[in-house]
A and B are shown apart, each in its own frame.
Chain A
Amino acid sequence: MDYVGRVVSIVRRAKVFVRRMEVEAKGSTYHIVMDVEGPTDEISWLVAKLDKLPEVLEISRLQQAPAVAIALADRR
């Protein structure tokens, strides 16, 4: 959960409201899906900030707004 903790540490500093956050271990990665509410620029900043983490292998903004999906490397 170390990597998930790193993600949460960044999300909690963004000026967004987190409506939902799901974490699921899939094979060798953790998948996180978040529904967040906030200004578009703030969500863009959050995505850019999360993408800076080297343990974030992939990140995308989903079509159904506003959602962010993250694939994290496994640390188990």
Chain B
Amino acid sequence: MALFDAAYFVDDIEVVMFRHEQGAAHAAEGYARVAGRPAVVAATSGPGATNLITGLTDAYMDSVPVTAITGQVATWVFGRDGFQETDILGVATPITKWVYQVKRPEEAVPAVRIAYEISRLGRPGPTLVDLPRDLQVVTPQGEAKIPINVSKFIPPKPKEEDIAKALKIVLEAERPVVLAGGGVLWSGATKEVLELAERLNAPIVSTLPGKAAIPHNHPLYMGPAGMHGRAEADAALANADVVIAVGTRFSDRTWGRFKELQEMIRSGEMRVVHIDVDKSEIGKNIKPTVGIVADAKEALRAMLDMLPAAAARSPKFLAWLHEIRRRYEEAMEKAAAEFKYFAPWKVLKAIRRAAPPNAITVTGVGGHQMWAEIWWDVYEPGTFITSAGLGTMGFGIPAALGAKLADRSRPVICIDGDGSFQMTFNNLALVREYDLPFVEIIFDNASLQLVKQWQVYMYGNRQIATRFARNPDFIKIGEAYGIEGIRPSTYEELERAVSWAVRNNEPLIIDVTIDEDKDIVLPWVKPGDWLTQAILPKGMEDVSLSYERY
């Protein structure tokens, strides 16, 4: 209470009141990803604080700078189960970069300052400061020194010997592949990644967060790899002899399983150069041939400065990858004809045609998100925002609001699912209240499609707790919040609606009916499978993702 009361007297703090603390935390993530600096999210003690936790965990998993301030019961009630008391320090400890409970009024200002600083330094992440109620009303006598070492978050310079080792490997490679993770975006290393790939004539593959870092119209970009990656990207990664992995944590979602990867590295069949700002990521999931602890942009620049003109590589590998892409897109075009209503990937193409290149796209979590991973084209770095590591349903709407708060001049489009929508749509109240228009497109398949897909393939088609027997009328929900809505019947109508909303900076809800029985996201690397075992769509039965068999 006292903290917000103080904000009443401060003009340069804009307080935005979300309808649920989880939404506020996701909005802070959306804001940070567009603005490139942390937003501060504040909540009351107990349930307010615990409601932030999903958002903070999401920020932790995707390395997003967010600073949280939570209220706490008075210090004299500590540990006595006071009203709305939660040990938020204990709860937030494993999911924050730094957490601090203020025990003296003199610690409050430095604690918030340090928390803000730590959240953005080095590998970004969430921080939390817990402010007991009684300390909020005491005037501090100066500032206490909080004895911590913040300088350890400043990225070290890349070691010359590591760069030299990496270059030797790269120059010897026949099929080098650059793997771009989310760290490329935070480091601002897109230009260096593209230059390295161009000089090596190497395909670029990304993780899901790294998708936002690479312009998709670049001829060397193969798309994201992994569980629901592009077939050509899975093929590139699995068949590379050298992988230059930048700003990525070697997630199981990108690699399928580590057994093949580790064996390939051990046998020398594949060599890996891993560049990451976080030293605890080097060797965490796989032991690279060379590990470089440094900021991605600096490390890549150092490599580029020392890279001699590379010998021309055979174009055969790239040609093979492009042929896989052609076959996949051909197969999906045929598959679309079998849909009675809308095919998700064609919906994405229609939206993309209507949205300007600088439009910020946010997704929910589920089947629509995976379709977006495969099919949404990013043209400008930083314009694709998704919940990758934690996979938080309900992320879309509040993150879209946060993105719009960070930059009101750009259109914001939320690619959402009917399941995700129903988790956080209460935050639509902010659209008119704070004038934050965005286009909400609901991929409405009346189910939790991605979970259902697992049930179909992995649980003998026993579908339970994944179908919505009766969905609410999403258009009427929009009306309740003063937002227009449509239910298009053709791709042209959909495209026109998105164009209209973007052109007029108007909010709009678009309810797109998807054939739920045909909505299976492919390619799919089933959990525990290797990348070359990806299930491909009908019509690609003769396509192998193993280079030897080509």
- Give per-residue flags for B478-501: 1 if the beta carbon is below 8 A from chain A beta carbons, else 0: 000000000000000000000000
B284 touches A74 (CB 8 A): no
CB neighbors of B among A22-73 (8 A): 28, 41, 44-45, 48-49, 51-57, 73
Segment of B86-94, B211-219, B378-386 in the binding face? B86-94
For A13, the closest partner residue in chain B by CB is B94
Q: Is B147 an interface residue (CB 8 A)?
A: yes
Q: How far is the CA of A51 from the CA of B280 in the complex (A)?
A: 9
A9 touches B89 (CB 8 A): no
B283 touches A41 (CB 8 A): yes
- Residues of B near A74 (CB, < 8 A) are 147
Segment of B148-156, B158-166, B319-327, B402-410 in the binding face? B148-156
B284 touches A45 (CB 8 A): yes
Q: Is B278 an interface residue (CB 8 A)?
A: yes
Q: Is B101 an interface residue (CB 8 A)?
A: yes
Looking at chain B, what size class is its interface with the partner chain?
20 to 34
A54 touches B98 (CB 8 A): yes
Q: Is B43 an interface residue (CB 8 A)?
A: no
Could you say which of B93, B100, B287 contacts A5, with CB atoms under 8 Å apart? B93
For A52, the closest partner residue in chain B by CB is B280
- Residues of B near A44 (CB, < 8 A) are 283
Q: How far is the CA of A6 from the CA of B89 in the complex (A)?
A: 9
Given contacts A44-B283, A45-B284, A57-B147, contact A52 B93 (CB under 8 A): no
Q: Is B279 an interface residue (CB 8 A)?
A: yes
A54 touches B93 (CB 8 A): no
Could you say which of A2, A9, A45, A56 contacts B283, with CB atoms under 8 Å apart? A45
A28 touches B93 (CB 8 A): no
Given contacts A9-B94, A55-B148, contact A2 B89 (CB under 8 A): yes
Looking at chain A, what size class is its interface with the partner chain?
20 to 34
For B96, the closest partner residue in chain A by CB is A6
A52 touches B152 (CB 8 A): yes
- Residues of A near B146 (CB, < 8 A) are 73
A5 touches B90 (CB 8 A): yes
Could you say which of B114, B149, B280 contacts A45, with CB atoms under 8 Å apart? B280
CB neighbors of A among B165-184 (8 A): none
B149 touches A54 (CB 8 A): yes
- Min CB gap B197→A, angstroms: 29
CB neighbors of A among B279-326 (8 A): 279-280, 282-284, 287
- Residues of A near B147 (CB, < 8 A) are 28, 55, 57, 73-74
- Min CB gap B275→A, angstroms: 16
- Residues of A near B243 (CB, < 8 A) are none
- Residues of B near A5 (CB, < 8 A) are 89-90, 93
Q: How far is the CA of A40 from the CA of B480 in the complex (A)?
A: 59
For A41, the closest partner residue in chain B by CB is B283
The listed residue with most A CB atoms (<10 A of its CB), out of B90, B93, B98, B118, is: B93
- Residues of B near A55 (CB, < 8 A) are 98, 147-149
Given contacts A52-B280, A54-B98, A54-B118, contact A41 B287 (CB under 8 A): yes
- Residues of A near B400 (CB, < 8 A) are none
Q: Is B28 an interface residue (CB 8 A)?
A: no
- Residues of B near A49 (CB, < 8 A) are 280
Q: How far is the CA of A9 from the CA of B89 in the complex (A)?
A: 12
Could you say which of A9, A13, A28, A73 contacts B148, with CB atoms under 8 Å apart? A73
Q: Is B40 an interface residue (CB 8 A)?
A: no
For B150, the closest partner residue in chain A by CB is A54
Q: How far is the CA of A45 from the CA of B283 in the complex (A)?
A: 7
- Residues of A near B90 (CB, < 8 A) are 5
Listed A/B pairs (28) with beta-carbon separation below 8 Å: A5-B90, A6-B93, A9-B93, A9-B94, A10-B94, A13-B94, A28-B147, A41-B283, A45-B280, A45-B283, A45-B284, A49-B280, A51-B152, A52-B152, A52-B278, A52-B279, A53-B98, A54-B98, A54-B114, A54-B118, A54-B152, A54-B153, A57-B147, A57-B148, A57-B149, A73-B146, A73-B147, A74-B147
Give the interface of B toward A (CB within 8 A): 89-90, 93-94, 98-101, 103, 114, 118, 146-150, 152-153, 278-280, 282-284, 287
